[in-house]
Structure 1
Amino acid sequence: MSDDARVTVYCPAGEITGTSDGQVTNFRSIPYSHIPGDFFDAQRLPNTPQEPIDATVHRPESIALSITTPHDSRPLADLPVIVYIHGGRFENGTHGDRRADGAPNARAKVITVHIGYRVKLAGFAQFHNDEPHRYRGIDDCQLGLEWVQRNIESFGGDPTNVTLVGQSAGATTALWLSRRDHYRGCFRRVMAMSPCFPRDSFQHRKGSLRTVLGKPVTRASLTKLAAKNPRLLERGYSRFRTWHGLDMALGPTPLDGAEMTDLPLWMTSTREEFYHLPGGRTLDDRGWGPRAARFLAKRMGLSGSVSAWIAAAQKMDPERVVGRLIGDASNRRWVSQAAEQSLGPVWMSEYVRDATPALHCVEIPYVFGLEPGISHEQLLRFAHGREPLWPRYTANTGRQVCRTNLDSGTTEIVSDPLKMVREAFGPN
């Protein structure tokens, strides 16, 4: 690598060196906190410059953040900032999600930050002395956002114009960070793409984790187990996840829109979400969809008329009733609830495709400009602080939604596409 490809920024955190291709500059895997142990709260780094940071290489195993800027970005340029939190069921993912690469944003003079956080039990197990509603994985993201506030001006970003974007588990985290007991003014608006909240709390599931581990679920016990027998800990978590296989095994809950701030909120979902999961496909392919959906509905959180939901699902796609139930129970119900309960202005999008289902995660590269279409333009507009070009989502105006066809790039305004979800699942 030539010296010309290296770019160094001097910021309150210290000297940080990344790489540039002449158009876009990347600073990869920058540490933003000190983590004294997997199951302990992260600590804010000192307010004095640290040792020079080599941010030329992505280190996916680290809890860190990455920044993508225009090559010609300069301190105090006041460029809009998008902070992205990855998904992965609170089990997987890193701060280097290539589907949300920041290069197209940088070419449009918008800075992108990817924040990584602890997942699985390290990030989301709760212990007896933890504060209610707090999770280490989410507090990691909070520290990352605070690092951005202190340092992003040196990279050319505007700390007063930060848009928080999350997908799946990352969308859940973004909404949780918008709670009044968490919000610290580190972002001005939120885009939440297909959030996924567990239907039950970790406290109600702690007994099943204790059973599969054969150990107490305490900070000291899990710390000792992680040090002495990490394979046993991983195997125990795998069994715990299987035990709660019809739901998110981990994550913050419950969603309560009344606890959120009144920030501008853009909620999105894909129309088919989880058509592709093997278990659902098997039931649907064998023609057991309606019968299986009736059996599973209550266990998956459906509280309204099961018959009415099945009828609506069959009308949309008679071949994939269980696949639709999985997506509605896992994601679309939370999109609907957050939009209904939010105290601030809300807009909603639904992503569809022509010949193939619009599955969970399919929209990410379109939204971030790696695939062509209107979705990236919509994100850039939102990041500049301008309202989307379609009506707000309100009951009084018919719950209008922008439906975007990812294949054709066309959009249309439709009324209340999540009505069947709202009526079937209702509030949590």
Structure 2
Amino acid sequence: MYETSAGRVRGRAPVDGVVAVLGIPYAQPPFGANRFRAPRPRTPWSGVRECTEFGPIPPQSAELPGAPSWSPGDEDVLTLNVWAPIDGNGPLPVLVWIHGGAYTFGSSAQPDFDGTALARTGLVVVTLNYRLGFEGFGHVPADACPPNRGLLDQIAALEWVRDNIAAFGGVPDNVTLAGQSAGATSAVCLMAMDGARGLFRRVIAHSAVGPVFAPVLAEQVTTRVAAAGTPVAREALAGVPPQALVRASDAVVAEYRKDPGSGQLHWDPVIYGPVADGHLLRDDPLHLIAAGAARDVDLLVCHTTEEYWLMDAVGSTCEVPTDERLHRFAADFGLPAPLVDGYRALMPGASPYDLHLAVYGDLMFGEYSSRLAEAHTAAGGRAFLSRFDRRSGGVRAWHCADVPFAFGNVDHESVRFLIGGAAPTAGDRALADRMTAAWAGFAATGDPGWAPGGGEVRVWGTPDRAAASGHWRDGAAVRALWDSYTYRPARS
């Protein structure tokens, strides 16, 4: 049993020397009078709260393998989970995980985020839910409804960790914030936000995706959502049931996908995300980090070498059968004229579609991640860069494939698709051990096992290798193609 600021909690019976305490509320339910507001402190409860099951997940339409689905009426969605060794020697470093999912789907209850294996390395592991979609990131035209509510939820969870994690054997001033995809960019945003200052010492960002939204895009999306199946004036959105906003959001995504004239959102209609509002988040975090906003926070960056092939595998990409479509894609994103031809030279015989997947994956994840590490180093911070390139036996090193390895959960049936469809090999399990050890070392001391700066890049694989061992992505050629490209907050 554990004492928290809101009351006592009791978790599951220990497994492999680790206790899991699940579904602990860290803020009031964000509905009713609290809807679209900043998170509010949790009202204390009496007695002992049984925390043996994950809490309800935030409103969304996704149904993910092995994870619970959202049910309309579930409101107590701002919860977190703690995995703690029962025989830890002394206070332990803490790792806090923010899940990805395009700021629209996912939860802390996904099996690949089980913290047991990481906790066995000597960490206290925390995973959390936060508001997604319109609830967390939609523009609400009211003074009392701040932007970036999902980020504010994450800050509230970190404040809970600061105030309560010692009861679980964790060190409140040795916290590492980690995330993947939208969760990685959330963590990087928090690095650069004044409101999160002092709540963590280090950040792990796997496949950070950029850039964030400009306010004009957030307002544009809200106008379309308010008109799509709701329909109401934007000022009346607080009275619309969450399930109606989820349906309207899905309808807007479908509209963008069908409209080739809709610019960047036609190609991958992620319609919600952090907004560079000039106050809570002053600019894209890449620019803020380059200006030294977080030079006192250590940063560990990783991206996969074939990020966008996952989107092809799950059927969420656009058709790009011709060079004409490929160049239309490049024009919509303002890519440098020689860039596509440069990829073609590096990928002889590749189809326009495969070129599109390679360029889009690097645009959204690979190049953005690399620039984060470089900008942080140039600003005086410590940054470690790595890539995930497990591609043996025809398996692709695509988006999300690295997460089960870093968590040490490659044997879980629900992650089989992410890691290539076959049962993990002994080499895969050894890779998972190396990646969990790197996370544990970084969280404990700031040392993942290789040198900071651009001099050494760890390439995770079976086996690991040096970054200059011959793969076309390892050299400077790909990076040079992006030299003249500038990331700016997205406007369309």
Aligned-residue CA RMSD in angstroms?
2.8
Query: What corresponds to 1:363 in structure 2?
Result: 402
Q: CA deviation at 1:426?
A: 3.4
Distance 1:167 1:383, change over 3 A: same
Q: Distance in 2 between matches of 1:15 and 1:57?
A: 16
Q: CA deviation at 1:109?
A: 1.9
Query: What corresponds to 1:14 in structure 2?
Result: 7
Q: Distance in 2 between matches of 1:385 and 1:155?
A: 20
Q: Distance in 1 between matches of 2:102 and 2:3?
A: 36
Q: Distance in 1 between matches of 2:450 and 2:252?
A: 43
| SS across alignment from 2:210 | coil
Identify unmatched segments of 5+ residues in structure 2: 58-76, 257-264, 277-283, 411-428, 469-473
- Say whether 1:296 aligns with 2:356: no
Query: Which of these residues, 444, 459, 465, is aligned with residue 411 of structure 1?
Result: 465
| SS across alignment from 1:44 | coil
- Say whether 1:39 aligns with 2:36: yes
Q: CA deviation at 1:275?
A: 1.3
Opposite residue 384 of structure 1, the aligned amino acid is: A
- Say whether 1:125 aligns with 2:118: no
Q: Distance in 2 between matches of 1:424 and 1:313?
A: 18
Q: Distance in 1 between matches of 2:465 and 2:78?
A: 38
Query: What corresponds to 1:152 in structure 2?
Result: 165
Query: Which of these residues, 34, 58, 78, is aligned with residue 54 of structure 2?
Result: 58
Query: Which of these residues, 241, 246, 254, is aligned with residue 267 of structure 2?
Result: 246
Q: TM-score, normalised by structure 2?
A: 0.75
Do 1:24 and 1:103's aligned partners in 2 also have CA atoms closer than 8 Å?
yes
Do 2:36 and 2:146's aligned partners in 1 also have CA atoms closer than 8 Å?
no
Query: Which of these residues, 137, 141, 152, is aligned with residue 139 of structure 1?
Result: 152
Opposite residue 110 of structure 1, the aligned amino acid is: L
Query: What corresponds to 1:311 in structure 2?
Result: 344
- Normalized per residue, the structure richer in strand is 1
Distance 1:13 1:209, change over 3 A: closer
| SS across alignment from 2:385 | strand
> Following superposition of structure 1 onto structure 2, how do residues 155-170 of structure 1 map, counting pairs within 5 Å?
155-170=168-183
Do 2:24 and 2:55's aligned partners in 1 also have CA atoms closer than 8 Å?
no
Do 2:140 and 2:147's aligned partners in 1 also have CA atoms closer than 8 Å?
no
Do 1:274 and 1:324's aligned partners in 2 also have CA atoms closer than 8 Å?
yes
- Say whether 1:30 aligns with 2:51: no
Q: CA deviation at 1:293?
A: 2.2
| SS across alignment from 2:308 | coil
Query: Which of these residues, 428, 437, 442, is aligned with residue 382 of structure 1?
Result: 442
Do 1:12 and 1:49's aligned partners in 2 also have CA atoms closer than 8 Å?
no
CA distances 1:142-161 after superposition (whole Å, capped 9, x unpaired): 00000001000010001111
Do 1:91 and 1:120's aligned partners in 2 also have CA atoms closer than 8 Å?
yes
- Say whether 1:236 aligns with 2:252: no
| SS across alignment from 2:20 | strand
Q: Distance in 2 between matches of 1:130 and 1:412?
A: 52
> Which sits farther off after the overlay, 101-110 or 125-134?
125-134
> Which sits farther off after the overlay, 77-86 or 30-39?
30-39
Query: What corresponds to 2:101 in structure 1?
Result: 88
> Following superposition of structure 1 onto structure 2, how do residues 322-401 of structure 1 map, counting pairs within 5 Å?
322-342=356-376, 343=379, 344-352=381-389, 353-354=391-392, 355-371=394-410, 372=429, 373=431, 374-394=434-454, 397=455, 400-401=456-457
Query: What corresponds to 1:107 in structure 2?
Result: 120
> Following superposition of structure 1 onto structure 2, how do residues 219-298 of structure 1 map, counting pairs within 5 Å?
220-226=235-241, 230-242=242-254, 243=256, 244-247=265-268, 248-252=270-274, 253=276, 254-255=284-285, 256=287, 257=289, 258=291, 260-262=293-295, 263-278=297-312, 283=319, 286=321, 288=322, 290-298=323-331
Q: Distance in 1 between matches of 2:225 and 2:129?
A: 28
| SS across alignment from 1:384 | helix
Q: CA deviation at 1:80?
A: 1.1
Query: What corresponds to 2:485 in structure 1?
Result: 425
Q: CA deviation at 1:104?
A: 0.7
CA distances 1:61-117 after superposition (whole Å, capped 9, x unpaired): 22210001113348xx31111100000000011122321211111222211000110
Q: Distance in 1 between matches of 2:125 and 2:164?
A: 13
Q: Distance in 2 between matches of 1:84 and 1:365?
A: 13
Distance 1:313 1:124, change over 3 A: farther
Q: Distance in 2 between matches of 1:50 and 1:197?
A: 44
Q: CA deviation at 1:320?
A: 1.6
Q: CA deviation at 1:132?
A: 11
Opposite residue 248 of structure 2, the aligned amino acid is: G
Distance 1:272 1:80, change over 3 A: same
Q: Distance in 2 between matches of 1:282 and 1:68?
A: 40
Opposite residue 379 of structure 1, the aligned amino acid is: W
Query: What corresponds to 2:201 in structure 1?
Result: 188
Q: CA deviation at 1:276?
A: 3.5
> Which sits farther off after the overlay, 113-122 or 409-418?
409-418
Identity of aligned residues (%): 26
Do 1:292 and 1:322's aligned partners in 2 also have CA atoms closer than 8 Å?
no
Q: Distance in 1 between matches of 2:146 and 2:339?
A: 31
Q: Distance in 1 between matches of 2:402 and 2:355?
A: 22
Identify unmatched segments of 5+ residues in structure 1: 1-7
Distance 1:136 1:199, change over 3 A: closer
Do 2:118 and 2:125's aligned partners in 1 also have CA atoms closer than 8 Å?
yes
Do 2:212 and 2:273's aligned partners in 1 also have CA atoms closer than 8 Å?
no
Query: What corresponds to 1:4 in structure 2?
Result: none
Do 1:160 and 1:187's aligned partners in 2 also have CA atoms closer than 8 Å?
yes
Q: CA deviation at 1:202?
A: 4.4
Q: CA deviation at 1:382?
A: 0.5
Opposite residue 207 of structure 1, the aligned amino acid is: Q
Distance 1:200 1:383, change over 3 A: closer
Do 1:117 and 1:140's aligned partners in 2 also have CA atoms closer than 8 Å?
yes
Query: What corresponds to 2:186 in structure 1?
Result: 173
Number of aligned pairs? Answer: 405
CA distances 1:253-275 after superposition (whole Å, capped 9, x unpaired): 43322263111111110000111
Q: Distance in 2 between matches of 1:341 and 1:134?
A: 26
